[in-house]
Amino acid sequence: MNAIELTGVSKRYGEVLAVDDLNLTVEPGRTVALLGPNGAGKSTTITMLLGLLRPTSGRVRVLGRTPGEAVAAGQIGAMLQEGTLIPELTVRELVDFVRRLYPDPLPLGEVLRTADLTDLASRRAARLSGGQTQRVRFALAIAGAPKILVLDEPTAAMDVESRRAFWAGMRAYAALGRTVLFATHYLREADENSDRVIVMARGGIVADGTAAEIKAGAGGGTVGFSLGAQSAAGLDALPGVTGVEIVSGTVTLRTSDADATVAALYRRTTLDVRGLTVGGADLEDAFLSLTQAAEV
């Protein structure tokens, strides 16, 4: 049985087609990143998956059930972008209250450890920072031990240390065979924490595979070198170059043809190139290429 199945799913808001005939299957135990620009249909898809919104047409199934049935059975948990915690309650009280709503919840201590909240257990919700609040939302999402976990922009408002702790907790939770679907604008997080990446644009899927497969399919790459005090004028005119970035004297050329760019760099310029590196396209390059092509 598949963890998630969307078959011919569309959603309209008046004349606006937010999701267009979407077909998506996610097998149990996968960790899937859902990417897309604003307006791509990610949040609408997640909302329908959770049963908070009905599709205009098509069918949504979670572990063979309707979303409403799966939610009622505690099989799917969610961490959404919005939601207010009860300010007077402590973290421990909030998590324990929610976990008691489910038939077979995780032990309280395990939830707090997984969400890196043990040291904050006695703090009232009103005194939490934005990143700490996000960690509590994560704890509430996993409290019922759901087989499927849905996360919408989970690390918004988190600092670097909190993000690291969050993803460590998420990986520990997923390692027990649970299915995780998360939407994010942080492409590095998708690259590092998923075994499958789905890219949406204009309400449909434009790419689906591992991060490595999607990056390879985008083609192109980067050429980097140290510039020192020399002028960077004219680099944007080299063959294949689609973008130029200069940070602290280090140049990164985004290019559709790294070989042609490197050859021209030595033949057509008088730059003293040091520390030359050539790399493949990263997930950001692939994302921009795919989503921009879909908008044409």
Taking the whole predicted model, whether its pTM rises above 0.85 is answered as: no
pLDDT at residue number 280? 76
Helix (H) / strand (E) element for 46: namely helix 42-49
Q: Which CATH number fits domain 4-215: 3.40.47.10, 3.30.70.100, 3.30.360.10, 3.40.50.300?
A: 3.40.50.300
CA-based nearest residue to 85, from 129, 151, 142:
129
pLDDT at residue number 295? 67
DSSP, res 124: B
Tell me if 264 sits within 8 A of 238, measured CB to CB.
yes
CA distance 222 to 235: 13
Amino acid identity for residue 213 in this structure: E
Domain boundaries, the chain: 4-215, 220-280
CA distance 138 to 115: 7
DSSP, res 88: T
Q: CB neighbours (10 Å) of residue 66? A: 13
Which pair of structure tokens corresponds to residue 175?
């390692």
pLDDT at residue number 221? 82
pLDDT at residue number 37? 92
CA distance 73 to 30: 21
Over the chain (296 residues), the average pLDDT of each successive run of 10 is: 97 96 96 94 95 97 96 92 90 97 94 95 95 93 96 88 90 93 92 95 94 79 85 88 86 87 90 88 80 70
CA distance 226 to 119: 45
Q: Is domain 220-280 annotated with CATH 3.30.70? A: yes
pLDDT at residue number 296? 55
In sequence order, the β-bridge partners of residue 236 are: none
CA-based nearest residue to 184, from 171, 199, 168:
199
